[in-house]
Amino acid sequence: MNAAVLALLTLAIFGLAYRFYSRFLAERIFQLRPDEPVPSVELRDDIDYIPTPKAVLWGHHYTSIAGAAPIVGPALAVIWGWVPALVWVVLGTIAMGATHDFGSMVISLRHRGRSMGEISGEVISPRVRILFLLIISFLIWIVLAVFAFIIGKLFVSNPGAIFPINVQIIVALVLGALVYRAKVKIFLPSLVAFALLLTAVFYGNAFAAAFPIITTLSVTQWVWILLVYAFVASVLPVWMLLQPRDYLNSHQLIVGLGLLMLGLLVLRPEVVAPAFNLHPIGAPPMLPFLFITIACGAISGFHGLVSSGTTSKQVACMTDARPIGYGAMLGEGSLGMLAVLASTAGFTTHAEWATHYASWSEASGLGPKLDAFVSGGASFIAALGIPLETGKTFIAVMVIAFAATSLDTGARIQRLVIEELADSYGFKPLTNRYLAGALGIGLALLLAITQGNGQGGLILWPLFGTTNQLVAGVTLLILSVWLAKLNRPNWPTLLPMLLVATVTFVAMLHNLWGYIQGANWLLTAIGGAVLILDAWVLLEGLAVLRTLRASRAAG
């Protein structure tokens, strides 16, 4: 099968889904109106709440959700064959992931920009609010520790990426000041800033050679630097760094995906991976683990936290939620699709692919998954005449930028969650954003350094996929209860919730049995606790749905 044909077909399906299904959700299910009041205007504080142009906010939201996960997940899932991986990326994105992201943004907009954890208390019960906030906090704790490790590892292995990433931060600060202090229109300065970033990519290796001290920093030292930076980013006003940096990242992301697509169309490589490979050596069963492995490439609980944690506080017009919430997830699905194709058509022969994916243990490491995407993607770009090594640097910078924006946004969300929990228990000191931010980053740093080389977060990483999907299931349940209370059809959220909750529950039970057999009592205890909390939340939510249906039937 030709990879270019698959890419064009996927994009066409995504275009139809946005044109018809997202419009159906916006008009019939969520009933959006352009004249509705929005939290960014009513609660404006110029720190977290600030009305933002649609294009800028789309860039922030897209790059915040498009972290490393939609790359590494599909790059591993192709071990079961390219057909199941690509089909789930397409169908999961359209019917589940984009609906989940869009819905969580809308419900937050109609609840004063509050997070899904906060909203669950009003929609289901106050007890669920505390339980869900605890699950969310645990998920982000893992994300912060592991993403800092991923970026640090990429810096060590790709020192040419260090210079452009730091140039991006400096340029973003200048861009934010120009737009919000000097009142300059953002588009033209952002193009100049992006040109500087592209120039920095070409000088990245030269900078590393001129300042060899940066190449001597270990992963652990980078983890410290990155988490301190994440703390600063989490407490700064959102317009100062997060918005302009993510807007720049969106340019890079669009150009990067455009180059990959163009190179794919020029090269027109054949997919050398098998269509189906149902029993890879050492791999868990494809069902339900295909869904858990691809994760963010199709649906992610973390996205709902971004939609309701940061993005909803910046939406300037209610109808902007459709292109930002639904549209950005289609962009992430496109990234997931390219990750599938780079990992199946980026190899020259079937034998080369089979060697890379010889077994689950060989393919599932962080290095092999990133290498499959970076090398395969660089081969696509090389078809345009760009040197292979420059292409690898550009893609490495793109991956790091994805992960860094998720790190920034995750740190801000964790700070907000801690503030919400502190407010619940009347612990006023932690409602201060500086103390709450320091606690969130401090706990992530503690987790990260519990093992040598800053990889402590990997201790709990096996729980990320299932916990992330459990959060997505709960978010869809909250949306289903909310729609039922409004007497609107809730099948667009209820049916995905039933699938996500079921497959994730089965996967978690399978993992727990493996942890018990391997005497891994830490993951057994934490995974079991998360599963119990999730089951509790789901049962309470389903009970509310049953009560609503019974009362309507009786009435």
Residue 364 pLDDT exceeds 90: no
Residue 448 pLDDT exceeds 70: yes
Tokens of 237: 């006003």
Answer yes or no: are the C-beta atoms of 468 and 461 closer than 8 Å.
no
Residue 548: closest CA among 488, 465, 470, 500: 488
Residue 402 pLDDT exceeds 80: no
pLDDT the model gives residue 403: 81
The better pLDDT of the pair 120, 392 is held by 120
Looking at residue 408, its amino acid is D
Answer yes or no: are the C-beta atoms of 455 and 174 closer than 8 Å.
no
DSSP string, 410-422: HHHHHHHHHHHHH
Q: Give the residue-averaged pLDDT of 513-532.
A: 93
Residue 443 pLDDT exceeds 90: yes
Q: Give the residue-averaged pLDDT of 1-19.
A: 96
DSSP string, 242-305: HHHHHHHHHHHHHHHHHHHHHHHHHH-PBP-S-S---S-TTPPPHHHHHHHHHGGGT--HHHHH
The better pLDDT of the pair 287, 406 is held by 287
The better pLDDT of the pair 165, 543 is held by 543
CA distance 13 to 223: 40
pLDDT the model gives residue 371: 76
pLDDT the model gives residue 101: 98
CA distance 321 to 72: 28
Answer yes or no: are the C-beta atoms of 125 and 373 closer than 8 Å.
no
pLDDT the model gives residue 454: 85
Residue 186 pLDDT exceeds 90: no
pLDDT the model gives residue 366: 66
% of the chain exceeding 90 in pLDDT:
64
- Tens digit of each residue's pLDDT (9 = 90 or more) over 315-326: 999 999 999 999
Q: Give the residue-averaged pLDDT of 379-408.
A: 83
**Distance between alpha carbon 139 and the CA centroid of its chain, in Å?**
12
pLDDT the model gives residue 461: 84
Residue 211 pLDDT exceeds 70: yes
pLDDT the model gives residue 217: 93
The better pLDDT of the pair 67, 268 is held by 268
DSSP string, 44-113: --SSS---B-HHHHHHHHHHHH-SSHHHHHHHHHGGG-HHHHHHHHHHHIIIIIHHHHHHHHHHHHTTTT
pLDDT the model gives residue 282: 92
pLDDT the model gives residue 373: 82
Residue 6: closest CA among 404, 460, 345, 376: 345
Q: % helix / strand / coil in the chain, to the nearest 5?
A: 80, 0, 20
pLDDT the model gives residue 252: 81
Q: Give the residue-averaged pLDDT of 341-366.
A: 88
What's the Cα-to-Cα distance from 361 to each of 188, 280, 358, 369, rounded to whole Å? 47, 10, 9, 11
- Tens digit of each residue's pLDDT (9 = 90 or more) over 127-156: 899 889 889 999 999 989 988 998 898 888
Residue 86 pLDDT exceeds 90: yes
Mean pLDDT taken over the chain: 91
pLDDT the model gives residue 68: 73
The better pLDDT of the pair 188, 478 is held by 478
pLDDT the model gives residue 350: 92
Q: How many residues does the chain have?
A: 555
Instruction: Classify 473 in phi/psi space as left (phi over 0), alpha (psi -120 to 50) or beta.
Output: alpha
Q: Which residue has the tokens 């009041």?
A: 37
CA distance 138 to 464: 9
The better pLDDT of the pair 340, 367 is held by 340
pLDDT the model gives residue 512: 95
pLDDT the model gives residue 245: 87
CA distance 237 to 241: 7
What's the Cα-to-Cα distance from 489 to each of 18, 32, 52, 341, 492, rounded to whole Å? 20, 15, 31, 36, 8
Answer yes or no: are the C-beta atoms of 304 and 50 closer than 8 Å.
no
- Tens digit of each residue's pLDDT (9 = 90 or more) over 219-269: 999 999 999 999 999 999 999 998 898 888 888 888 888 998 999 999 999
Looking at residue 333, its amino acid is G
| Burial (Cβ within 10 Å: 0-12, 13-18, ≥19) of residue 417 | buried
Band of residue 79 on the pLDDT scale cut at 50, 70, 90: very high
End-to-end CA separation in angstroms for the chain: 56
pLDDT the model gives residue 386: 85
Q: Give the residue-averaged pLDDT of 429-453.
A: 92
Band of residue 400 on the pLDDT scale cut at 50, 70, 90: confident
Region 3-554: CATH code:
1.20.1740.10
pLDDT the model gives residue 40: 97
pLDDT the model gives residue 369: 76
What's the Cα-to-Cα distance from 320 to each of 26, 303, 373, rounded to whole Å? 10, 17, 32
CA distance 298 to 91: 8
Q: Give the residue-averaged pLDDT of 413-427.
A: 89
Residue 389: closest CA among 68, 161, 152: 161
The better pLDDT of the pair 487, 398 is held by 487
Q: Give the residue-averaged pLDDT of 37-42.
A: 96
Q: Other CB atoms closer than 10 Å to residue 487's CB: what's the count? A: 9
Residue 202 pLDDT exceeds 90: no
Residue 44 pLDDT exceeds 90: yes
Print burial letters for 167-204: b (CB count within 10 Å at least 16), e (below 16). bbeebbeebbebbbeeeeebeebbeebbebbeebbeeb
Q: Which residue has the tokens 């549209």?
A: 327
Q: Which SS3 state, helix, strand or coil, does residue 241 take?
A: coil
CA distance 353 to 131: 44
Residue 518 pLDDT exceeds 90: yes
Domain range summary for the chain, segments of one domain joined by +: 3-554
pLDDT the model gives residue 396: 79
CA distance 156 to 154: 5
pLDDT the model gives residue 74: 92
Answer yes or no: are the C-beta atoms of 305 and 102 closer than 8 Å.
no
Band of residue 555 on the pLDDT scale cut at 50, 70, 90: low
Q: What is the pTM of this model?
A: 0.92
538 Cβ partners below 8 Å, 6+ apart?
473, 474, 477, 501
Answer yes or no: are the C-beta atoms of 197 and 248 closer than 8 Å.
yes
% of the chain exceeding 70 in pLDDT:
99
